[in-house]
Amino acid sequence: MQRIGVFVCWCGSNIAGTVDVKQVAKALESEPGVVFSTDYQYMCSKSGQDMIKDAVRDHRLTGIVVCSCSPRMHEATFRKTASAAGLNPYMVEIANVREQCSWVHKDIIIGTQKAIILGRAAVAKVNLNAPLTPGESPVTKRALVIGGGIAGIQTALDIADAGFEVDIVEKKPTIGGKMAQLDKTFPTLDCAACILTPKMVDAAQHEKIRIFSYSEVSSVGGFVGNFTVSIRKKARYVNEDICTGCGACVDKCPMKKVPNEFNLGMDNRRAIYIPFAQAVPKVATIDPNACNMLKNGKCGVCAKVCTAGAIDYTQKDEYIEEKYGAIVVATGFDPISLDKFDEYAYNNSKDVITSLEFERLTNAAGPTQGKLLRPSDGKHPEKIVFVQCVGSRCSSCSEKGKEYCSKICCMYTAKHAMLTRDKYPDTEVYVFYIDVRTPGKSFDEFYRRAVEDYGVKYIKGSVGKIVPEGEKLVVQGSDLLNNRQVVIDADLVVLAAAIEPDKSARPLATMLTASMDTNDFFTEAHPKLRPVESPTAGVFLSGACQGPKDIPETVSQASAAAAKVIGLLSKDKLVGNPCVASSDELMCNGCSSCERVCPYGAITYEDKEFRMPDRTVRVRRVAKVNPAVCQGCGCCTVACPSGAMDLRGFKNDQIMAEVDAICK
Amino acid sequence: MRKCLYKDIHKIFARVAEKMPLYIPAKTGDEKAEYKKWSEGDELFEGLNTVKSPKDLFFPQSEDLVRFKTEGKNIEITDVREDKGPFAVFGVRACDAKSFEVLDRVFLTEPRDSYYASRRENATVVTLACSRPSETCFCKTFGIDAGEPGGDVSAWIAGDDIVFSANTEKGSAFLDIIGELTEECSCDAVDREKEKIAVIMERLPLSDLTTDGFGGGKTEDLFNRAEWAELSEACLGCGTCTFVCPTCQCYDIKDFKSGNGVVRYRCWDSCMYSEFTKMAHGNNRLTQKERFRQRFMHKLVYYPENNDGLYSCVGCGRCLKSCPVSMNIVKVMKKLGGKKND
Amino acid sequence: MNSNKLCLEIIRMSGTDPKKCMACGKCSATCPAYKEMEYHPHQFVSMIKNGEIAPLMESESIYRCLTCFACVERCPRGVEPAKLIEATRLAVVRQQGKNRVTPDSIPALLDEDIPQQALVSAFRKYTK
Amino acid sequence: MQVNEYKPLIVAFCCNWCSYAGADLAGNNRADYPAEVKIIRVPCSCRVNPTFVLKAFQRGADGVIICGCHPGDCHYTSGNYYTRRRMAMLFSMLDYLGIERERTRLEWVSAAEGAKFAATMRDFVQKVAALGENKRLEDLRCKK
Amino acid sequence: MQKITEKHLAEKAKDLLSQGKVSAVLGWRRGEFDYDVTPALFTDADEIENGLVYNCFCGANLSKYLVSKIRAVEGRMLVFLKPCDTYSINQLFTEHRVDREKVYIVGIPCNGMADITKIRNAVGEGITGVSGDECLRVETLYSDEPAELCLADVMSERCVNCKSKKHVAYDELLGDEGEVLDSHRFDEVERIERMSPDERFAFWQRELSRCIRCNACRDACPACTCEVCVFNNPASGVESKAPVNEFEEKMFHIIRAFHVAGRCTDCGECSRVCPQNIPLHLLNRKLIKDMNECYGEYQAGEAVGGVSPLTDYTAEDGEPGDLIRRRDTDA
């Protein structure tokens, strides 16, 4: 049985004005468990708190009920008071007799009656309270960033600058991501490589940053502060530590016809290759699907020419296990496949290209050394049609397109159109648009310049079909403003393909137990207030893996995620919320209902041996709640059919006792 | 003996109901029947067995015993028993009438159960002989004569008449109440009816079932028999058999916290439940096999051992009809009866 | 029936939802009969959405639509303009005496180049 | 309100993050609502077990209202979505059993909606009062 | 179509036992009468030959037994499952209550099970023999001529509205595969929905007041496999052993319906075993119907794994009021 002290606060006249506090204190004195009951002008004042401390000592109180303002105001205060008096802070309950009573009810009789009932409910609850101790878990002061694009690089740099070790895992042979493939960046038109490559170098040279390129995460265990991650370093058949990146092997490799993925297959590379000149790490990688030596043991030229002796055909995939306190997902995006959009003839004509391909075509380091030439015949295109919203905002064709707006296409299309007109003023440039969406600093001005200063012809409407005819592409579209159908004989068509999360994100989300939306973008812990955190504690989101983003947005989110990680890693220990769910394994059926509704992936299962009453041993699957991950919503308690799952601090019997007390 | 036309039975009911509440078996839905308080329009259910037996009238499924009321730190205790006064129950079959004897031996021996006793004393039991027993009936196994149903008044439906015969003082008083609706008669028609019943009883599929191998003193023979495992394997552990049984008398006393006090009540319990007689150390019957065995050992061995050979099964056949998995005392008796563990 | 009610009826008959339209114009961009039509597929969508049904019902456009369903196939929002046009045509045909083709008019239409099947289906489609 | 008017007993389960804060705001704004409403704080509306609702009726409540964050705003991202499904099923089931549907309600009240909280409570109390005492889900043992 | 009889079942069982593929067989054992068959575990061929039965009284769903029985057996257990029983077993697999690897499922066809209460109502007391399948010959003590009954007329309520003749889980099938049926199983629910609230209240009051809380519905239910049922657990706040009053009667059945919501495969065992013939399946079906209408068609146990409507959500779900209002406008 508890020994409960009741403290009724006057809050000056705030409560005492419409609640007879003396009567409340007196009425609650006779409640079961109550051994002391009093009232005071300001319970939250120092003398009020001292009064509580004295009463705890004098009356050997085990529980406290404060009838005062909202617990959202002073629950923490009184918990500290209890703590100072040697009580467990969770033995305190607040009856909210100010916001819910004196402030909303004018009549003192009614107010007093209700205050007594609210007090009674709090007493009933405290009678069933149990001391709670928040779990503590140590924090591994290292972070993992998954994805080495601009988002991952920025996050890693910020975390490392704060003094924490960071590992970047990048699945490609080099970091840099999509931004490395871009030519210029909107709206300022500075060259992507010029602003990105210094950051790549910074990351490579940072003493706190390790880059695992050509690597993938293969499994994730543990929880916030204590993740264990297994990283698969794919065999690149080149000893990274020795390779100097001189490129001699690349020059001599006889396998010359391997499509170059960095240039989206618009030119070729060798079987041993360095993706691009500024690659980080600048080491060669052998493509095992193209290399003759690896495929049938014939060749070995690269090993012969490598003076450093870095080539190692026997290299195997290597698994590295590391511990981290925080994980940042920065897996980025990809343009969608356009295979299913027959009307655009993407698969029928080399001269129908995506915007990313266009970036490579105009990039000085691209397949045409920056000259805008048609992929089919290398001629200079005179009429170019840009088509926006290809696969975006597509609500009826989920199997081929995306329902959302890809956000960045309007701006890069304006950029492409403008740059084309700038470099080749003789070119006619058309842009088919549905809406031009340019919210962002200097964005609309940028688009207007394309129209007004560069004479790009924007047509409000869509393209219905593109038919290659001879050297031309016949583009049939609608011009809605003039209510006519237009036909343009174009030389080149550029499709602004929708973007989607990288394909590796889904399996990664499963490993991380991080939730995703229906489009496979990672879900935020709160769409407004916690936009860079995943609902899974310790997992943070950076860049386009969370939703379509342009570079400035990506970088700011990357830094924001870093700030959250730094906040987490600067703690020595994580003190959990003790009001977490816990499962009574004797009653648990192991049915997985709770796991399915847990937004945090806090529930796992284990097979446990039970000694049955008849002395047999039975192995049963039971749920386990990780208190460091559980946030205490209690959703699982209702999903649980057997009632094995309960929520500390808001236990079933506590809530039902409150119901009883109120309905008494 | 007194008789009246069976089609005028409702007049009898009306007359009795003027004097005291009358309970008769009546239909509750399309298919099942229950003992219920008679009111105008209710018709006697002519089938044999109600789902629940009439033991409900003396030992209801749940009854409040006492109420504790807390006011602040004071507790006030009130006896909340309902004293219903005299009542009559009509249409009780021989097996159910016999079951009262089984219950009496439990509740009326010291310490006497005053709740039960009061209802028994207040009740006039009018029985009715079975002219069309069911294939599940086996009262004969326990020496019960379906043609001599007993109780305070025995009744037979003989031809177009219903014939009454008082067995006790309460019975005579009952016949006085219905006196002017009935006329004196000889016992010839009843004797003919009894003979008919005796013939039918012989024809029943379970008429050859005997209690050989059971009874007091057989604990050691039966307790460790291997067959219990197979017999109990389908048992779901529900309480259907116990709750429909006229002789099962186990109950639990529980407290219900009403918010403004405590209601102490008792309710039927079932030895088939895993929580039955659960104690601080846990449960003494650990598996369904043991719980299953308990129920039948109690009916066929322990009870007769302590009650002069009286079995606490009356062969009413309710459990045969109600068990969700069709496991029942007949199957147990056939499997274990007459054999020794060797 | 007033024009708004008729529009709702046409929407119901077609089983489509013109409110889903985002005015991209892809239906009209893809339409092979565009030049033959006074009102184009996107106009059907927007006019029916806005309750302007009379001009459409009076227009020859409803018979110029080839029902090739290119717009249905291409529409990124699942609005399915051809179904709206079809429903409009039905609404007209259902009116008394509004059969587009009568048995008498068939002989005049006979032409070696027209497959007989086309006539049969036109007859089915354009009459009550 | 008149003195002799029938006063229903209302149990309101409020989620800590939105609706309880909304009730606090109603208090801050001195927005009047009937004293028959008694609030029980839960971390999230998804903590409310259908059993609690039934228990409240058993104990003598005349109406039960559950308040949570607006869909999409749940502090725990998805709790209120589960609540919505569970309560839709519970309320429908009660309706199926012939129990007055106005006795139960689910409302979304944000921390900024003090006025909505008060108005909702006023409306709910009025609707429940019009039904009179809860007879169809009462437990006579719990009556005084 | 080959007709599958108990002979085929027995052959199959003996076959698999002798091959050592299974070490025990879960089936139905012959009783005293033709209709009182009992679920049973067989381990040798003779027992199977003499005891195994399959007729229109084998209504008992054997899937739940696996939860407890499978522990007692080394190796795999053969279980005979009717189409509707296979949904239950899938649900048990989903909930990790039965290990798939330890079960060998032989799917058997089912033409609907007979309800002995209905037969009794038709022919009266004293049933001494029931034979036949589509057409039943019922012999009684009180009539020299056997009565002829059509199975369809005395079919269990749940079989009248059979939802599926298709086996959704099996290792082997005896006979031909059936199909999912358009069962009209919600017709009765709709009929109740169309009643006025007062009529509905009276209807359920009448039905539920007969409850004797024998727990047969719960103990037979393949979804009720909790280690400790809340109604047996004093700490749950709802524990009770008797239908003390109207509230308790309702509370028990509402909570039970909720605990199995989204998990109930609508196998109908609850109603079959109820000694008082309370149409308990109409509570579960109501929830199934509501969930289907609100959250898309869902059949528990149709496949292993996945989420049920109450462990899932979409942002566009309707509000509780919408559901009831919509019904009002429909009515």
Say if A250 is an interface residue toward chain E (CB within 8 Å).
no
ipTM of the complex: 0.85
Residues B127 and B243 in one domain: no
Q: Structurally, how many domains does chain D consist of?
A: 1
Q: What is the dihedral of CA D67, D70, D76, D77, to 10 degrees?
A: 150
Residue D3: pLDDT band (50, 70, 90) is very low
Decide if pLDDT at E152 tops 50: yes
Computed over every residue of chain A, the mean pLDDT equals 94
The 8 Å CB, 24+ separation contacts for E129-135 are E129/E33, E129/E34, E130/E33, E130/E34, E130/E35, E130/E57, E131/E34, E133/E55, E133/E56
Q: In this structure, what are the phi and psi dihedrals at residue B68, rounded to the nearest 5 degrees?
A: -110, 130
Q: What is the dihedral of CA E217, E218, E220, E223, to 10 degrees?
A: 120
Residues E224 and E253 in one domain: yes
Query: Does residue E316 lie within any of the structural domains?
Result: yes
E190-210 in b/e burial notation, b at 16+ Cβ within 10 A?
eebbeeeeeebbebbeebbeb
Query: Does residue E179 lie within any of the structural domains?
Result: no
**Inter-CA distances, A11 with A49, A117, D43, Å:** 13, 19, 26
Which of chain D's residues have a Cβ under 8 Å away from the Cβ of B259?
59-60, 142
Residues A179 and A328 in one domain: yes
Q: What is the pLDDT of residues B73-108, one digit of tens each?
A: 688 999 988 777 999 999 999 999 999 999 999 999
- Strand A226-233 to A318-324 pairing: antiparallel
In the predicted model, what is the mean pLDDT of residues A240-253?
A: 94
Q: What is the pLDDT of residues B298-317, one digit of tens each?
A: 999 999 999 999 999 999 99
Residues A159 and A267 in one domain: yes
Residues A209 and A327 in one domain: yes
Domain that holds residue D107: 10-137
Sign of CA dihedral A190, A192, A195, A198: negative
Decide if pLDDT at B342 tops 50: no
Query: Does residue E320 lie within any of the structural domains?
Result: yes
Q: What is the pLDDT of residues C17-35, one digit of tens each?
A: 999 999 999 999 999 999 9
Which of chain B's residues have a Cβ under 8 Å away from the Cβ of E124?
132
Query: Does residue E142 lie within any of the structural domains?
Result: yes
Q: What is the pLDDT of residues E288-305, one digit of tens each?
A: 999 999 999 999 999 999
User: The pTM is what?
Assistant: 0.80
Other Cβ atoms within 10 Å of B180 Cβ, number: 8
Q: Of A477, A500, A523, which residue sits at a domain end? A: A500
Helix (H) or strand (E) holding A220: strand A215-223
* 3 state SS of A46: helix
The CATH number for A449's domain is 3.50.50.60
Residues B199 and B223 in one domain: no
Query: Does residue E230 lie within any of the structural domains?
Result: yes
What part of A 615-634 touches E (C-beta under 8 Å)? 618, 620-621
Which of chain B's residues have a Cβ under 8 Å away from the Cβ of A613?
282-283, 286
Of B73, B282, B286, which is closest to A30 when you measure between CB atoms?
Answer: B73
- What is residue C88's predicted lDDT score, i.e. its pLDDT? 93
* C vs D contact (3+ beta-carbon pairs below 8 A): no
Q: What is the pLDDT of residues B181-239, one digit of tens each?
A: 999 998 889 999 999 999 999 999 999 999 999 999 999 999 999 999 999 999 999 99
Q: Structurally, how many domains does chain B consist of?
A: 2
Nearest to A288 by CA among A235, A217, A327: A235
Domain that holds residue E131: 117-150
Strand pairing partners for E32? none
Helix (H) or strand (E) holding E160: helix E157-160
Q: Do D141 and B260 touch (CB under 8 A)?
A: no
Residues E204 and E79 in one domain: no
Q: Of B203, B236, B253, which residue sits at a domain end? A: B203
Q: Do A613 and B282 touch (CB under 8 A)?
A: yes
Query: Does residue D49 lie within any of the structural domains?
Result: yes
Query: Does residue A662 lie within any of the structural domains?
Result: no
Say if A399 is an interface residue toward chain C (CB within 8 Å).
no
Query: Does residue D3 lie within any of the structural domains?
Result: no
Decide if pLDDT at D2 tops 50: no
Residue A398: pLDDT band (50, 70, 90) is low
Q: Do D144 and B260 touch (CB under 8 A)?
A: yes
Q: What is the dihedral of CA A470, A473, A474, A475, to 10 degrees?
A: 170
- What is residue B339's predicted lDDT score, i.e. its pLDDT? 52
Say if A632 is an interface residue toward chain D (CB within 8 Å).
yes
Which of chain E's residues have a Cβ under 8 Å away from the Cβ of D140?
245
In the predicted model, what is the mean pLDDT of residues E66-87?
A: 92
Q: Of B159, B179, B203, which residue sits at a domain end? A: B203
Query: Does residue D1 lie within any of the structural domains?
Result: no
Query: Does residue D5 lie within any of the structural domains?
Result: no
- What is residue E1's predicted lDDT score, i.e. its pLDDT? 56
Nearest to B63 by CA among B86, B76, B81: B81
Nearest to A433 by CA among A385, A471, A466, A397: A385
Give the rounded distance of the alpha carbon of A562 from its chain centre: 12
Residues B7 and B57 in one domain: yes
Domain that holds residue A124: 4-128
Domain that holds residue B64: 2-203
Q: Do E307 and A596 touch (CB under 8 A)?
A: yes
Say if A430 is an interface residue toward chain C (CB within 8 Å).
no
Residues A163 and A117 in one domain: no
Of A32, A613, A664, which is closest to B283 when you measure between CB atoms?
Answer: A613
Query: Does residue B69 lie within any of the structural domains?
Result: yes
- What is residue C2's predicted lDDT score, i.e. its pLDDT? 75
Computed over every residue of chain E, the mean pLDDT equals 92
Q: Do D87 and E192 touch (CB under 8 A)?
A: no
The residues on A that touch B, with CB distances below 8 Å, are 30-32, 612-614, 660-661, 663-664
Decide if pLDDT at B56 tops 90: yes
Decide if pLDDT at D5 tops 80: no
- What is residue B232's predicted lDDT score, i.e. its pLDDT? 95
Which of chain E's residues have a Cβ under 8 Å away from the Cβ of B327?
38
- What is residue E134's predicted lDDT score, i.e. its pLDDT? 87
- Select the residue from A614, A615, A662 to test the B interface by mutation, using most B Cβ atoms within 10 A: A614
In the predicted model, what is the mean pLDDT of residues A69-92?
A: 95
Q: Structurally, how many domains does chain A consist of?
A: 4
Say if E190 is an interface residue toward chain D (CB within 8 Å).
no
Say if D141 is an interface residue toward chain B (CB within 8 Å).
yes
Residues B239 and B199 in one domain: no
Report the alpha-carbon distance of residue A211 to residue D99 in Å, rounded. 65
* E vs B contact (3+ beta-carbon pairs below 8 A): yes
Residue A147: pLDDT band (50, 70, 90) is very high
Strand pairing partners for A460? A433
Query: Does residue E281 lie within any of the structural domains?
Result: yes
Q: Name the percent of chain D lying above pLDDT 90.
A: 84
A167-193 in b/e burial notation, b at 16+ Cβ within 10 A?
bbbbbbbbbbbbbbbbbbbbbeeeebb
In the predicted model, what is the mean pLDDT of residues A301-312?
A: 94
Say if A419 is an interface residue toward chain C (CB within 8 Å).
no
**Inter-CA distances, B31 with A146, A278, B135, B334, E301, Å:** 68, 87, 18, 30, 32
Sketch out chain C's domains with CATH numbers: 3-95 (1.10.1060.10), 101-128 (no CATH)
The CATH number for D69's domain is 3.40.50
Report the alpha-carbon distance of residue D115 to residue D28 in Å, rounded. 10
Residues B20 and B100 in one domain: yes
Computed over every residue of chain B, the mean pLDDT equals 92
State chain B's maximal CA–CA distance in angstroms.
71
Write the DSSP symbol of residue D8: -
Q: Structurally, how many domains does chain E consist of?
A: 3
- What is residue E53's predicted lDDT score, i.e. its pLDDT? 95
Report the alpha-carbon distance of residue A376 to residue A373 in Å, rounded. 9
Q: What is the pLDDT of residues A435-470, one digit of tens each?
A: 999 999 999 999 999 999 999 999 999 999 999 999
In angstroms, what separates the C-alpha of E196 from chain D's closest C-alpha?
Answer: 8
Say if B31 is an interface residue toward chain E (CB within 8 Å).
yes
Residues A527 and A440 in one domain: no
Q: Do E319 and D88 touch (CB under 8 A)?
A: yes
Residues A306 and A157 in one domain: yes
Report the alpha-carbon distance of residue D124 to residue D118 in Å, rounded. 10
* 3 state SS of A503: coil
Query: Does residue D144 lie within any of the structural domains?
Result: no
Query: Does residue B341 lie within any of the structural domains?
Result: no
Q: What is the pLDDT of residues D50-104, one digit of tens each?
A: 999 999 999 999 999 999 999 988 888 889 999 999 999 999 999 999 999 999 9
Decide if pLDDT at B65 tops 60: yes
Q: What is the pLDDT of residues B254-270, one digit of tens each?
A: 999 888 789 999 999 99
- What is residue D1's predicted lDDT score, i.e. its pLDDT? 43
Residues E248 and E307 in one domain: yes
In the predicted model, what is the mean pLDDT of residues D12-34?
A: 94
In angstroms, what separates the C-alpha of D113 from chain E's closest C-alpha?
Answer: 19
Give the rounded distance of the alpha carbon of A421 from its chain centre: 38
Helix (H) or strand (E) holding A659: helix A652-663
Q: What is the pLDDT of residues B20-29, one digit of tens each?
A: 999 999 987 7
Closest residue of chain D to B70, computed from CA coordinates? D144
Q: Residue type for E54, please?
A: Y
Residues E169 and E34 in one domain: yes
Q: What is the pLDDT of residues B137-190, one digit of tens each?
A: 999 999 999 999 999 999 999 989 999 999 999 999 999 999 899 999 988 899
Report the alpha-carbon distance of residue A267 to residue D81 in Å, rounded. 51
Of C20, C26, C29, which is closest to A395 when you measure between CB atoms?
Answer: C20
Closest residue of chain D to E199, computed from CA coordinates? D98
- Strand A34-40 to A92-96 pairing: unpaired
Nearest to A121 by CA among A71, A51, A49, A58: A71
Residues A398 and A259 in one domain: no
